[in-house]
Amino acid sequence: MNIRMLRAFLRAGFHAFICGAFTAAVLVAQEDNPGKHEEALPLPPWPKEDTHALQAERSLWPEDFDPNEVIHSATTVLPEAKPTEDEVWSRFLPRGLFSGASAPKPAAVSGPLVEMPSDAWHACEEMPADTRLFDPQGLLSEIQAEDMRRLLSFHSGRAGVSAALVLVDARQKLPAGADLTHLAGGALARVPACIVVYPLGEPGRARVFFTQIVARTAEPSYLENLASTCIRESSENTDPVEQVQRFAIQLSIRLFWLERAYPSLQPAAATPPALPVPVPVPVPPPAKPEPTAAVPVTQEQPPLSEVTPFQTTPSLWSRMTASISQNKNAVYLGIGALVLAGLIAVGIVLLVRWRRRRLRQCVWILPDFPGPTAPRFGGPHCGASGAFIQYG
Amino acid sequence: MECPRCSVRIAEARAVCPRCQFSLTALTTAVGCDLFGIRRLTDEAHCLKLHESREIEALLEDFEQRFPQVFLTLYLGVLPTPFSVREVAFLLLNRGAFPTREHGRLNEYALALVIDPVARAASLMSGYALEKWLPERKLGGILRSIRTALWHGEYVAAVNSVIQGLEKHLRKAGRREDRRQVLPPPTEEFLSGAKFRLLSQSAMESLRASAEGQEYSKGGEMADEY
């Protein structure tokens, strides 16, 4: 019995070893070649008689077309780099059409500012006179630029103070010799206008300029508040394109309010000169734009006045921090003066208390009475020297 | 100076007012008493509450401790019609006695503040020794500073202001000394045991009786009948 059981046990063990070894070999083979299953199921090839029959019936198949080659090549190409939908459409549409809100630009990185390309600036100078959006580098997509252009044109058509937007990249600045009066052939310098140099993605660096007729009419604090409000409004969004749209909308609203506050800036009262006839492109930039009678531009007075928006920051805390960072020495001096004044006040209080305490511990001895004087009214001690009041 | 009764201005020392014949002798005759014991506070008008009396007593005691030679007495009383607060102050300073056990205080260094709450009149008078540092002009200024407090019946504040004004002028004249070298002020026990007649209700009654029996006028016609 024992021998029989031993044989059965050895037989079962041998069978189990064989099955395990086979299973392990299969698994190892599958891991080494994962595409073996796909290759094991090829598409059915087109027989030659069928292809000849289809070509003979004048179907859509071109001549010498082998559908097997297409199927074979498709099986090898499809798993590789598949172009995105935007890339496919970008082969047929202008650049950046689908790169707007769906793919926002990366946030501006800190680094030194570089100048805007000179050819881009020259392009701004050579743009037509009715241009209000200057985006020579194509920072906005076509649809966004068109929306912005329509907004600014609508504003310029209704408002007395035009709004113009010069877009630069996040870490760009205007060229060294750039003169904003040469924008659009100098057309903007001849009308009441507000020109904003806007770094895309960094609304805090936006610079706001007003022509002289606006700067002379409105109070500086009002213009500073206008610029601050626009920057604050644009800073409430993180998307660069959304920021510039918010900035432009708020700028348009505030410019309308500016006209209400100062009626002389309204279109009828301000009598701005009509926009010049659109200059054909290209237009050589005028060296010295001739000022009109309505807006005299003299050499002593620049045609544009820049408004620094952070002189009136929106919140008290930001105003305090900005002023502290700008006037650290004055702040330290003021704090020192306050501390010194407090110490002096405490010293005075302590001195007064000490003097009172000392006065309580002291007595005063009057000089001796020299002697009897001539009595008055017969009084030996008092001669009726005193005062009398009626307080009723 | 001015006559306490008729307020006539007298340039030189006179024993009797040339206008109304006022003198100390006539006054003491009318009152009927030649010597009074003076307390710091005498409230014959009963216009002070208990805590006010204590506060005024404390103020006066502190004043006496800072100026050991000087004492200030406060008399609050409704005076009979012919008598004025100045006459009572003159009488207190010349015929009053401030009893002390350790050392005496001369009446020449005394000050009397007499207030009549009904007549709404107040007088502040000083002895001969203090006239040099507390002339009539300064005493008048001190009295004018308490006019509002007196009108409102705030006697504690009024006395406090009077003491501060007096100290301000007396400090300039005095010599500062250590308190330990000066004797303490008289105690209440000694004052109660003193054999002095106080200027109290009985004295006022005698004043009224004398005033009712005699037709008194400030013109001086009846001055001899004192």
Measured between alpha carbons, how far is B129 from A368 in angstroms, rounded to an integer?
A: 8
The identity of residue A49, as a single letter, is: E
* Min distance A344 CA to chain B CA atoms (Å): 26
| Closest chain B CA to residue A378 | B15
Residue of B162, B157, B168 lying closest to B140 (CA atoms): B162
Per-residue pLDDT band for B163 (boundaries 50, 70, 90) equals: very high
**Beta pairing class for A193-199 and A162-168:** parallel
| Closest chain A CA to residue B16 | A377
CA distances to A28, B44, B78, B130, B171 from B125, rounded to whole Å, are: 127, 19, 18, 10, 18
Per-residue pLDDT band for B189 (boundaries 50, 70, 90) equals: low
Chain B residues near residue A371 by CB distance under 8 angstroms: none
Residue B76 has pLDDT above 80, yes or no: yes
Residue A196 has pLDDT above 80, yes or no: yes
Please answer yes or no on whether A382 and B139 come within 8 Å at the CB atom: no
The predicted pLDDT at position A87 comes to 64
The predicted pLDDT at position A190 comes to 83
Chain A residues near residue B15 by CB distance under 8 angstroms: 375-378
Please answer yes or no on whether A379 and B17 come within 8 Å at the CB atom: no
**Beta pairing class for B110-116 and B121-126:** antiparallel
Choose the weakest-confidence range: A142-156, A255-269, B9-23.
A255-269
Angle subtended at Cα B178 by Cα B177 and Cα B181, rounded to the nearest 5 degrees: 100
Mutate to test the interface with A, among B90, B146, B182 (most CBs of A within 10 A): B90
The predicted pLDDT at position A270 comes to 46
Measured between alpha carbons, how far is B85 from B115 in angstroms, rounded to an integer?
A: 7
CA distances to A191, A248, A278, A381, B207 from A153, rounded to whole Å, are: 14, 12, 14, 104, 106
Please answer yes or no on whether B178 and A362 come within 8 Å at the CB atom: yes
* ipTM rounded to 2 decimals: 0.77
Please answer yes or no on whether B121 and A384 come within 8 Å at the CB atom: no
Residue B205 has pLDDT above 70, yes or no: no
Measured between alpha carbons, how far is A71 from A210 in angstroms, rounded to an integer?
A: 66
> Residue B193 in contact with residue A377, Cβ under 8 Å?
no
Residue A91 has pLDDT above 70, yes or no: no
What are the residue boundaries of the structural domains of chain A, listed by start? 2-41, 117-314, 320-356
Residues 199-218 (B) with a CB less than 8 A from some CB of A: none
The predicted pLDDT at position A297 comes to 41
- CATH for the stretch B35-197: 3.10.310.50
The predicted pLDDT at position A102 comes to 47
Choose the weakest-confidence range: A14-18, A57-61, A182-186, B41-45.
A57-61
Higher-pLDDT residue of A309 and B61 is: B61
What are the residue boundaries of the structural domains of chain B, listed by start? 35-197
Please answer yes or no on whether B90 and A382 come within 8 Å at the CB atom: yes
Higher-pLDDT residue of B5 and A73 is: B5
Residues 159-178 (B) with a CB less than 8 A from some CB of A: 170-171, 173-178
Please answer yes or no on whether B129 and A369 come within 8 Å at the CB atom: yes
Alpha helices per DSSP H over chain A: 2-32, 36-39, 48-56, 67-77, 85-90, 118-125, 142-158, 212-217, 220-234, 240-261, 267-270, 316-326, 328-360
Residue A373 has pLDDT above 90, yes or no: no
Measured between alpha carbons, how far is A86 from A104 in angstroms, rounded to an integer?
A: 14
Please answer yes or no on whether A376 and B65 come within 8 Å at the CB atom: no
Residue A296 has pLDDT above 50, yes or no: no
The predicted pLDDT at position A57 comes to 64
The predicted pLDDT at position A331 comes to 86
Smallest Cβ distance to B66: which of A363, A369, A388?
A: A363
Chain A residues near residue B110 by CB distance under 8 angstroms: 381-382
Higher-pLDDT residue of A87 and B84 is: B84
Per-residue pLDDT band for A66 (boundaries 50, 70, 90) equals: confident
Per-residue pLDDT band for B185 (boundaries 50, 70, 90) equals: low
Higher-pLDDT residue of A57 and B164 is: B164
* Min distance A329 CA to chain B CA atoms (Å): 46
Angle subtended at Cα A39 by Cα A35 and Cα A44, rounded to the nearest 5 degrees: 150
**Averaged pLDDT of chain B:** 82
Please answer yes or no on whether A380 and B94 come within 8 Å at the CB atom: yes
Residue B152 has pLDDT above 60, yes or no: yes
In the A/B pair of chains, how many CB contacts fall below 8 A? 167
* Min distance B164 CA to chain A CA atoms (Å): 13
A12, two tokens: 């079962």
Measured between alpha carbons, how far is B11 from B190 in angstroms, rounded to an integer?
A: 41
CA distances to A239, B123, B130, B174 from B110, rounded to whole Å, are: 91, 14, 8, 15
Chain B residues near residue A357 by CB distance under 8 angstroms: none
Average pLDDT over residues B112-141: 94
> Residue A159 in contact with residue A255, Cβ under 8 Å?
yes
Per-residue pLDDT band for A216 (boundaries 50, 70, 90) equals: confident
Residue A311 has pLDDT above 90, yes or no: no
The predicted pLDDT at position A387 comes to 94
Mutate to test the interface with A, among B10, B94, B152, B179 (most CBs of A within 10 A): B94
How is domain A117-314 classified at the architecture level of CATH? Roll (3.10)
Residue A281 has pLDDT above 90, yes or no: no
What percentage of chain A's residues is helix, strand, coil (to nearest 5)?
A: 50, 10, 40
Most confident of A180-189, A289-298, A340-349: A340-349
Residue A275 has pLDDT above 50, yes or no: no
Please answer yes or no on whether B66 and A387 come within 8 Å at the CB atom: no
Smallest Cβ distance to A366: which of B70, B119, B139?
A: B70
Eight-class DSSP state of A95: T
Higher-pLDDT residue of A389 and A273 is: A389
Determine contact: B139 vs chain A, CB below 8 A.
Answer: yes
> Residue B77 in contact with residue B48, Cβ under 8 Å?
no
Per-residue pLDDT band for B203 (boundaries 50, 70, 90) equals: low
| Closest chain A CA to residue B62 | A360
**Averaged pLDDT of chain A:** 77
* Min distance A356 CA to chain B CA atoms (Å): 12
Higher-pLDDT residue of B110 and A190 is: B110
Determine contact: A373 vs chain B, CB below 8 A.
Answer: yes
Average pLDDT over residues B150-172: 94
pTM for this structure? 0.43
β-bridge partners, A365: B175
pLDDT digits (tens, 9 = 90+) for A318-332: 777 877 887 888 888
Determine contact: A361 vs chain B, CB below 8 A.
Answer: yes
Residues 113-172 (A) with a CB less than 8 A from some CB of B: none
Chain B residues near residue A361 by CB distance under 8 angstroms: 178-179
B45, two tokens: 């008008």
CA distances to A179, A197, A284 from A287, rounded to whole Å, are: 10, 21, 9
**For residue A339, how many C-alpha atoms fall within 13 Å in the half-sphere facing its CB?**
6
| Closest chain A CA to residue B96 | A381
